[in-house]
Amino acid sequence: MEALVWRVLVARGRLAAMQLRTEQMVRCLTIFLITIGILFTNAHAAGYIANYSNWQQLTTSQQEGYVMGLWDKTITILAPAQKEVLAEAQGLSKCGADLQLRPEMIISAINEYCRNNTTAWGYNPYFAFRISIIAGACKSYVNETRANYGLTPFN
């Protein structure tokens, strides 16, 4: 009889543990799905910035977020990279620190480039960022780090 009671108690304990794990899994899954829904909704609402017209429609805060994303993407190396990528990231990082580049300065450079180069209107703002910042304001810094890696300079 004791063995039977013991088995029942153990079975109840296992059942309670399984129910608790199931509730935790459902809770985690619910949070995950809500998070995914929010992310996709925001990503869809922001849209892809395909050209200068899309760029102009962004608020100042959205433009700041966009250029900070460009900046972070360009200077952050998460895996082994080619010398060209490392040189660009390191040169741009030093340039940003030395020139004390702020988002509004990068936004201004993108806008100025697009105002003066109407052929760039069909490209996304990254194109203007590369030309006005990487190959423009920060060119000497990038070329210096390229030289340190034994690479030819940007023209």
DSSP string, 107-148: HHHHHHHHHH-GGGGGS-HHHHHIIIIIIIITHHHHHHHHHH
Q: Which of 5-14, 15-24, 120-129 has the highest mean pLDDT?
A: 120-129
For residue 113, pLDDT over 70 is answered with yes
Q: Are residues 86 and 25 in the same domain?
A: no
pLDDT score for 81: 83
Q: Are residues 33 and 94 in the same domain?
A: no
Residue 130 covered by a domain: yes
Q: Are residues 34 and 85 in the same domain?
A: no
Split at pLDDT 50, 70, 90, the class of 44 is very low
Residue 75 covered by a domain: yes
Per-residue pLDDT of 63-97, as tens digits, reads 999 999 999 999 998 877 899 999 999 999 999 99
Split at pLDDT 50, 70, 90, the class of 155 is confident
Q: Are residues 57 and 131 in the same domain?
A: yes
Distance (Å, rounded) from C-alpha 65 to C-alpha 74? 14
Residue 155 covered by a domain: no
Q: What is the mean pLDDT of residues 141-155?
A: 94
Residue 100 covered by a domain: yes
- Residue-range definition of the domain harbouring residue 39: 1-46
pLDDT score for 26: 56
Concatenated DSSP letters of 12-26: HHHHHHHHHHHHHHH
pLDDT score for 154: 85
